[in-house]
Amino acid sequence: MPLRSLLSRQPWLRAMLLATSLFSSAHAMTLDHIEPRSWWVGMKQSGLQLMLHGQDIGRLKARVEYPGVRLLRQQGLESPNYLVLDLEIGAEARPGTLSIELREGDRLVLSHPYPLQARAPGSAQREGFGPKDAIYLVVPDRFAKGLPAPDAGGMSEGERRELPGGRHGGNLAGMRQHLDYVAAMGFTQIWPTPLTENNGLEYSYHGYASTDLYRVDPRFGSNEDFRAFAAEARERGVGVIQDIVLNHIGARHWWMQDLPTRDWVNQWPRYTETSHFRMSVQDPYGTESDRRAFSDGWFSPNMPDLNQRQPVLANYLIQMSLWWIEYAGLSGVRTDTYSYSDKAFLARWSQRMLEEYPRLNLVGEEWSPHPAVVAYWQRGKRNHDGYVSHMPSMMDFPLHGALLASLTEPEGHDSGFTKLYEALAHDFVYADPARLVVFEGNHDTPRVIAALHGDLALYKMATAYLAMTRRIPQFFYGSEVLLSSPRERDDGAVRGDFPGGWAGDAVNAFTGQGLDARQREAQDWLRRLLNWRKGQPAIHEGRLVHYSPRQGVYVLFRQLGGRTLMLVLHKGATDAQLDIGRFPEMLKPGQAWREVMTGRQGRLAQSGDTLPLPARSAQIFELGD
């Protein structure tokens, strides 16, 4: 007998099969992702947009019942496997667990507990990093391997320390175990390159191709490990800056197997890489096609370019950033490839971060040698096209390049220290130059000692300048012990292992064991310099005055109240004397002086007096009565 006839004659069988079908459908339906993973009561904005992902979940109807919480609307996306819920977390809502119910008609298909947490005391008014700080940039995979190593089963790429581009096994436990070293060196902020899951087939250690934006890569540890690391760092007076990527994800991100919408990533008829012509964003004579080629092109075939004009994605990225700040207790965010994202979105993103955390600092990467291009993105800049940014800080690539050139080029009317002098004189284009982050090197540049041809004297000049100039200084892990690299770009060498970070290392920079005399000298120099800098309000808040360089000598002052500090850089190969009469605005006869790094002391006589200039030296003088 045909099944249709059988069912027409046996209503009980039809009902049983229907029930079985519904049971099987409900049994197969799962909630694979809900993001953000949690939220907090008492946030500045009451809105929260949840993205749910699971097989055919988009056809279900949601119900949320919790005091002070309302479900405003829900929407499916182009993929039937997504459901977006807009909630309002009212001021009267209290911490607890709300239940998100998903129904098909009157039948409950899924129920998910969703945590609403209490914010940490003072969270909204947390102090971000600023000119008083010194930042230590680390590549976690290459810094230290703490034991026991976390369980990283199921990840595509395992540990192969012998490969320059492989994973070497550094982790959060290793970073955590060496926080005392970081603090003792005088660093007050630590910036790890991205820690989120990067489940790529190769080169996954660098972290910039995330496959899950809400999950710490299990080879580093867990989300809880990261939060514990940040808490222990704060106990030692060290803030944590998280590296967040808004522009792109990894090709193996779970979205790429099931795009929420076709426009979730920027699509092209065939693979199109970004042009890297970042100036096209500001160019008054530029074209829309050039701007699109820059902002919508993919960073690489393995890094799909996100389309922040997609409203659900834009909300997702904003909430993801807020979630990590609140969850981990961050003191700031560094944003990779900043200008490559949609610029209207960037204005909205930066405004929202500071609306929630008015004293937080955010720093964006804009790899341009032109001050006007970097200045365009900083908060307070009045731009020619009316663009309004809210970013407090940007990475100062122009001054970084000028510093290295000034130390390695011969002196001339447009070379040597003249380049450094003129680069700093360009501060008139910035809204707030003191909040820019300047650096001796990073994970994408040759090591500073290589760029300076192995010259320890030039290394001292570079670090003294970073400590004294009107910026927030950042140092790359291992620079303090002269880790080197080729002078051309070589990522594997630049991101070499920190000596002593692995059991059995013959050299241990944490303890000093096995360091040669030059390495010990460099490490001791930077340790004394940064710890002295902590107690110098004239550097943190004071005005800067500098004089045009002459005969390979560059002089810069910082002054606050009655406190005056003087930096003298001398590239000359022989000892010389510095005529104090050149600096009538800043030096007075009879002033006492003390050279910070050597402890030498003296007193200025009349205007014809001089200060000794040892050959190829960096000197810092404290001046006063």
Question: For residue 343, what are the contacts with CB-CB under 8 A and spacing of at least 6?
Answer: 281, 295, 387
Burial class (CB in 10 A: 0-12, 13-18, 19+), 462: buried
DSSP state of 399: H
Q: Are the CB atoms for 452 and 618 separated by under 8 Å?
A: no
Q: Tell whether omega for the bond before 36 is within 30 degrees of 0, i.e. cis.
A: yes
d(CA 282, CA 475): 30
d(CA 295, CA 283): 14
Q: Which of helix, strand or coil describes residue 341?
A: coil
d(CA 537, CA 462): 21
Which of the following is catalytic: 141, 225, 243, 365? 365
Strands 69-76 and 437-439, bridge-based pairing: unpaired
Give the dihedral of Cα atoms 387, 389, 394, 400; nearest 10 deg.
20
d(CA 74, CA 399): 49
Q: Which two tokens stand for residue 590?
A: 């009879």
Catalytic residue status for 365: yes
Give the dihedral of Cα atoms 511, 514, 518, 522; nearest 10 deg.
-20
Q: HSE of 174 in the Cβ direction (CA atoms, 13 Å)? A: 26
Sign of CA dihedral 486, 488, 491, 492: negative
Q: Which two tokens stand for residue 166?
A: 């492989």
Q: Tell whether omega for the bond before 148 is within 30 degrees of 0, i.e. cis.
A: yes
Residue 463, H or E segment:
helix 456-468
Give the residues across from 601 on adjacent strands. Answer: 594
**Residue for token digits 């630590």?**
190
Q: Which of helix, strand or coil describes residue 143?
A: helix
Give the dihedral of Cα atoms 141, 217, 124, 50; nearest 10 deg.
160
Distances (CA, A) of 571 to 202, 577, 618: 44, 13, 9
d(CA 346, CA 389): 8
Q: What are phi and psi of 36, to 5 degrees?
A: -60, 155
Strands 69-76 and 61-65, bridge-based pairing: unpaired
Kindly report the number of other CB atoms within 10 A of residue 157's CB atom: 18
Distances (CA, A) of 478 to 136, 354, 481, 508: 10, 33, 5, 11
Q: What are phi and psi of 196, to 5 degrees?
A: -70, 160
DSSP string, 521-558: HHHHHHHHHHHHHTT-HHHHT-EEEEEEEETTEEEEEE
Residue 87, H or E segment:
strand 82-89
Q: Which of helix, strand or coil describes residue 481?
A: helix
Which of the following is catalytic: 305, 336, 342, 497? 336
d(CA 312, CA 131): 36
**Residue for token digits 């964006």?**
364
Catalytic site positions: 336, 365
